[in-house]
Amino acid sequence: MVSGYLEKRARSGWTIVLDFGKDADGKRIRKYQPFKGNKKEAERELARLITEANKETYVDPTTMTTGEYLTWWLEQHSLAKGLAPKTVESYEYLINKHLTPVLG
């Protein structure tokens, strides 16, 4: 189960720290994400990220290319929204033909 906490940064806001537990060697796995805003907003974002991580919908922003993210997004979005097959096909085409080649 993922947990997390906030760290105050000098003047620029907060750092959201997600704790994913320990790896096989016993070393802590943590992800750090800067956040600009007040403490209440940071707490809301922390809660959202923890919920995503515990539902296994969390996407680590440092390890995924834009193309991989768009493919993942389409899978999640089409299932959640119940999109028509033709719409999904159209989105796949746009992602594969235009976005992934340019953005990576």
pLDDT digits (tens, 9 = 90+) for 16-25: 999 988 888 8
Which residue in 22, 18, 21, 52 sits closest to 35, CA to CA? 18
- Averaged over 74-90, what is the pLDDT? 80
The token duo for 81 is: 């929204």
Are 53 and 47 in contact, with CB atoms under 8 Å apart? no
Residue type, position 34, single letter: P
57-66 pLDDT, tens digit each: 666 666 778 8
Statement: the pTM of the whole predicted model exceeds 0.75: no
